[in-house]
Structure 1
Amino acid sequence: MKNQVQLITYADRLTGNGLTQLKQLLDESFAGLFSGVHILPFYYPIDGSDAGFDPIDHAQVDSRLGTWQALSEIGQHYEVMADLIVNHVSAQSHEFQDVLEQGHQSPYWSMFLKETDVFPSGITQAQANAIFRPRPTSCFSPKKLASGELVNFWTTFTDNQIDINVETDSGKRYLDKVLNLFATNGVKIIRLDAAGFAIKRAGTSCFMTDETFAFIKQLAEQAHNLGMETIAEIHSHYKTQIAVAKKVDRVYDFALPPLILHTLFSKNVDALLYWLTIAPRNCLTVLDTHDGIGIVDAGPEGDKAGLLNANEIDDLVQQIHINSQGESLKATGAAASNVDLYQVNCTYYDALGKDDLAYLTARAIQFFAPGVPQVYYGGLLALHNDVALLEKTQVGRDINRSYLSLEQVEKHLDKPVVKGLRKLIKLRNDSDAFNGDFLVHGSNSTLSMEWQNQHELASLKVDLMAGTAQLSFSNAKQNTVINLVDLLN
């Protein structure tokens, strides 16, 4: 993977169209910005109950977006990341519908995980309490077969997302088919969506168990043999992320987004500084994604201390709600049919109160943090919360999943904050210093981040009390100093 900035986007929501138009945008208006692109689910259908993360047919490109050939054409010029939706498939899929019709006689019966597969005698309350849950409801959904039999199928997220039994031959064949399609059609990086939930065992949390690690390792080896690398997508306590990073190709630094917000809100760098000294180096960094702003990644878990304490987490969440004028509150927690209770749904730009300099400072810190930076399309364009879409769909995450046209994209590209971000992206891409050694220091309200690779040096100095941030890039021939605020002019 190239150590340059990548884009995260839906093909349709960014372009108003499909894969061909996405490539055109990357080639033209976004020229020089991105070495790779994470194209969020493009499988049939893209407009299911979870914006493509509940595929009816994981092996079919939604015809409204294009074809596998169109994806392959993007892959000839950019590193394409695609989601392998490891944990589940739509209840409307051919495979599950066949199970409902034929029951135990279906060739796909073993493909789907049932309560009795893990708890043959039924689950006890103590066992249920031990399971790590991303939502407050039961992890099972009863489904009636054509015979009249009622079966509890495992549904980690929603009752339309039926968990796959990845340890059975039919479950393995399902994932193998998608992996091979990816390799054939130019995908270079696979995001293992919700992989931490894939293996369930009685008496455990059913999340990131030893068996899960072994499963992820096996998937990674399969991907490597096909010429691809993998990213584990896991929201959890920061120590879990550090442990996972030692066993996979790359992880996401999900602790970074809340820590940067905390730093800018409190004008204190100490928590962020500590994290930057211990954070995994084999990571992708993000501030925003198609999901909400993760909170669990920086907070405490049970008796394990977090990077932020419970009061700091509460203050952080409340400040986001204040900065967004209450819009994030309408889309978060038990509001708006949320799947995840550990995330705040809000654009990162609005979480910072639409403050252009604060936003560029956040991005600068992200770009200087260890890892390969990714920028979500909403973040690239500094979008506001899409309250109209939220009210229409009543899906919390949609507040940060706007539908745009190419004309709207061009207008957003002309905003000063977006022009500044584009300059910052190019500075990050053009410096070879980021392939060298990282050094960070500071205290209280000042932070210094430096990269050095032989004669190439890049540094970022932030003074939160003074409200200043300064970039410096030097090599054997020249030294360039840029005040971050000047990128807005």
Structure 2
Amino acid sequence: MNPSQSLFNGVMFNAYPDSIGKTLTDTMNLLAHPLLEDAFSLFYVLPTFFNSDLDRGFSVIDYDTNKELVSPGDLEAASGLQLGFKFDLVLNHMSVGSRQFQDMLQKGDESAYKDFFIDWNEFWAGHGKMGPEGYIVPEQKALDRLFMRKPELPILKVRFPDGSERPYWNTFYQEVNYQPLTADDLAGIEGLPADEAASIMYRVNTAIAAQEDFRTLDYNGYGDAVVAAVEQKRQYLGQMDLNAKSETVWTFYDETLGKLAGYGAQLVRLDAFAYLHKEVGQANFFNKPGTWEYLDRLKKLASDHDLTLLPEIHSEYGSRLHEEVASNGFPVYDFFLPGLVIEALDRGTKANLLRWIRELDESGIETVNMLGCHDGIPVLDLRGKEVEGVYREGLLSDDEIQAVIDNILERGGRIKNLYGADGRKIAYYQVNATYFSALGEDEQKLLLARAIQLFTPGIPQVWYLDLFAGKNDYAAADRGGTGGHKEINRTTLSLADIENGLETDVVRDQLKLLRLRNTHPAFKGTLEIETTDSHRLHLTWRNGQHVAILEAGLRSHAFNVSHTDYAGNFSVMRFARQKWQEGKRR
């Protein structure tokens, strides 16, 4: 096993800069509230902290702070609260709005950033046939191996200054739009009368507004010139894959890590890292050994800036990729826990959940765990998988996974799928819902879910909306259209929502549990798992004389949390379907 990076042991808050109130200042004020004292040690701020234009921050233009949402005072406030930051470094792609992509659009082959992105035809040269649309279609055996995020080939056709169209690799989102023509745009077309220009401009702009193909219009012999003028008005939205074979990209990574450290980062989440390494004939998702070579190089860069890296990956449990990542010295995301907790609380049995807790304890894998998050509730991760002809079972069977999905959907969740190269659906990827709604909007179940999370090995990450028992936001999901499923779990909480929420038992009870997990020395010790009935869970953390105990009924959802104080006395917090109580025993 490679040497592991150090991982702190506190609790992590998670939100966008504008999840609460209007700017990050409102969230910093919440974290400074007396009720939240000692509840958190780290703050994972999602990437609208930076300048971005899509995907709620994950289409980064640059890693400067977004001045509309973030002020220098926010960074000072975090330092005063002794809160470290966790930030994202989106490894695989950047926005078309980045200065690197814009430089390529303006200068074409003369751009210093021409190789910052991946020319599709150069990549696949000699390994496919040129198609009628101007891009190489890879050989079928290569296509069959490609891991796809959308039904079509991952290409965005980019217009260079010389008028040529170049296909560039685009794994994630893309959109092409055209700005309306003006009279000046057509003024340079030789021989075009003014009245004809006005007519053409009207028809073109009508087609653009209706999202119709302006190329099919009759331009009375001026077609090539008019189309060229319209193409000059082309605009892009999207996330362009970076070319990690370019040293310019690695210089960019190093500079960005230094910038994040300067903001106060301790932990950096590597978003979409598994897509970065690309090689002909490979899946281009977690290629080996190339991905490990990249991660090792990144870890050395991060070490120079005193940063710990957290690679983010979704994959089936049966693939054992989480073990592989950990064996190479990285902490991993525990994407298994959210679904396992729902399954345990819905069925009233601990078998599957406890199997995973035991595995974490025995393996020593360092994790960051969660209930809800900005993305959704992962289900694909729980499956088994055939590897080299041998089927490795999952943490849940396919039938058990489907039962979890069905329960969440019946409670109002939305679905996200994965697709193959032929456009066919491969599997469910995530179910989108607030965790509270996924539990049937049952406060007692939410409290027990939180307690289980806090007693499971790993660093607990807490989504702001879960802390405030947020419900599914159907209106926001509907407003987002086909890609709006994630908005169901991203409701902005007003300052009035926060003020009212802090008066509720479900919020205050969670804060008591969070404060215990964040500060009690027992959680720096070892875990003991007691043998009990299948519907009862008994977990003990022990560090010398310091002890913390969770005793839970998975059918009734009632539970007790006991812990020592510094005098060696036990305090007991009792959680049932009546008000929280606290007692003392020796």
Which of 320, 329, 338 pairs up with 1:257? 338
Alignment check: 8 A CA contact 2:379 2:428 kept: no
Per-residue deviation, 1:8: 0.5
Kindly provide the amino acid, as one letter, of the partner of residue 57 in structure 2. Answer: G
Structure 1 43/447 Cα, relative in aligned 2: closer, same or farther at 3 Å? closer
- Shift of the alpha carbon at 1:407? 2.1
Corresponding residue to 2:519 among 412, 430, 443: 430
Are residues 1:348 and 2:435 paired? yes
Letter in 1 for 2:154: C
CA contact (8 A) 1:8 1:376 kept: yes
Q: Secondary structure at the match of 1:55?
A: strand
CA shift for structure 1 position 194: 1.2
What's the CA shift for 1:69? 6.3
- Map of 1:84-233 to 2, 5 A cutoff? 84-121=89-126, 122=128, 123-159=138-174, 160-209=238-287, 210-233=289-312
- In structure 2, what residue type is equivalent to 1:186? G
Deviation for aligned residue 1:465: 3.0
Q: Secondary structure at the match of 1:192?
A: strand
Match of residue 369, structure 1, among 443, 456, 459: 456
SS of the aligned residue for 2:413 comes to: helix
Paired residue type of 1:307: L
Matching of residues 409-420 of structure 1 within 5 Å: 409-420=498-509
Q: CA deviation at 1:203?
A: 1.9
Aligned to 2:372: 288
Tell me which moved more, 179-188 or 287-296. Answer: 179-188
The answer for unaligned runs of 5 or more in structure 1 is none
CA distance in structure 1 between the aligned counterparts of 2:536 and 2:334, rounded to whole angstroms: 22
2: CA distance between counterparts of 1:11 and 1:412? 19
Which amino acid in 2 is paired with 1:204? Q
Question: Larger deviation: 415-424 or 313-322?
Answer: 415-424
Letter aligned with residue 261 of structure 1: I
Q: How far apart in 2 are the matches of 1:70 and 1:419?
A: 25
Cα displacement (A) at 1:152:
2.4
Q: 1:316 to 1:224 in 2, by over 3 A?
A: same
Offset, 1:349: 0.3
- Shift of residue 72, structure 1, vs aligned partner: 5.2
Shift of 1:177: 1.9
Distance 2:487 2:243 in 1: 29
Q: Which secondary structure state, in structure 2, belongs to the residue aligned with residue 13 of structure 1?
A: coil
Deviation at 1:113, TM superposition (A): 2.0
Point out the more displaced range, 233-242 or 66-75. 66-75
How far does residue 433 in structure 1 lie from its aligned partner after superposition? 0.6
Q: For residue 441 of structure 1, report the CA deviation from its aligned partner.
A: 4.4
Which runs of at least 4 in structure 1 moved beyond 4 Å after TM superposition? 486-489
The residue identity in structure 2 corresponding to 1:100 is L
Could you tell which deviates more after superposition, 456-465 or 252-261? 456-465
Match of 1:474 among 564, 573, 581: 564
Kindly name which structure, 1 or 2, has the bigger radius of gyration based on alpha carbons.
2
Out of 543, 552, 562, the position equivalent to 1:453 is 543
3-state SS of paired residue (1:147): coil
**What is the rounded CA distance, in whole Å, between the counterparts of 2:11 and 2:487 in structure 1?**
24
- How far does the alpha carbon of each residue in 1:446-483 deviate from its partner, in whole angstroms, 9 at most, with x for none? 22211110111111122223433222213662122322
The alpha-carbon distance between structure 1 residues 137 and 457, as it changes in their structure 2 partners (threshold 3 A), is farther
Aligned match of 1:83? 88
Are 1:65 and 2:69 counterparts? yes
CA distance in 2, matches of 1:172, 1:363: 39
Q: Partner letter of residue 173 of structure 2?
A: T
- Cα distance between partner residues in 2 of 1:169 and 1:286: 35
**In the aligned structure 2, how far is the partner of 1:75 from the partner of 1:129?**
50
- Correspondent of 1:386 among 456, 459, 473: 473
Check whether the contact 1:459–1:472 (CA below 8 A) recurs between aligned residues: yes
Q: Which amino acid aligns with 2:45?
A: I
In the alignment, structure 2 segments of 5+ residues that lack a partner are 1-6, 129-137, 175-237, 419-424, 582-586
**Structure 1: how far apart are the matches of 2:375 and 2:30?**
23
Give yes or no for the alignment of 1:32 onto 2:32: no
CA contact (8 A) 1:360 1:420 kept: yes
| Corresponding residue SS for 1:111 | coil
Structure 1 SS opposite 2:315: coil
| CA distance in 1: counterparts of 2:428 and 2:118, whole angstroms | 24
Residue 154 of structure 2 contacts residue 171 of structure 2 at CA under 8 Å; is this kept in 1?
yes
User: Take 2:31 and 2:439, find their aligned partners in 1: how far apart are those partners?
Assistant: 27
* Range with greater deviation from structure 2 (454-463 or 467-476): 467-476
Aligned mates of 1:125, 1:385 — CA distance in 2: 42
Q: Which residue of the partner structure matches residue 392 of structure 2? A: 304
- CA deviations 1:28-71 (Å, max 9, x no partner) are 2533211110011134545x22001101223x211101345643
The one-letter code of the counterpart of 1:228 is L
Distance 1:412-1:117 versus aligned 2 partners, 3 A rule: farther
One-letter code aligned to 2:441: K
> Contact conserved, 1:140 with 1:155, CA < 8 A, in 2?
yes
Give the match for residue 11 of structure 2: 5
- TM-score for both structures, normalised by structure 1: 0.92
> How far apart are residue 487 of structure 1 and its match?
6.0
Q: Distance in 1 between matches of 2:486 and 2:433?
A: 8
Shift of 1:270: 1.1
Report the TM-score, using the length of structure 2 for normalisation: 0.77
For residues 392 and 15 of structure 2, what CA distance do their matches in structure 1 show?
Answer: 34
Q: Give, in whole Å, the separation in 1 of the partners of 2:273 and 2:530.
A: 34
What secondary structure, in the 3-state scheme, does the structure 2 residue paired with 1:56 have? strand
What letter matches 2:569 in structure 1? Q
2:292 maps to amino acid: F
Q: Offset of 1:117 from its aligned partner?
A: 4.9
Contact 1:236 1:297 in 2 (8 A): yes
Cα distance in 2 between the residues matched to 1:449 and 1:474: 15
Q: Distance in 1 between matches of 2:579 and 2:563?
A: 15
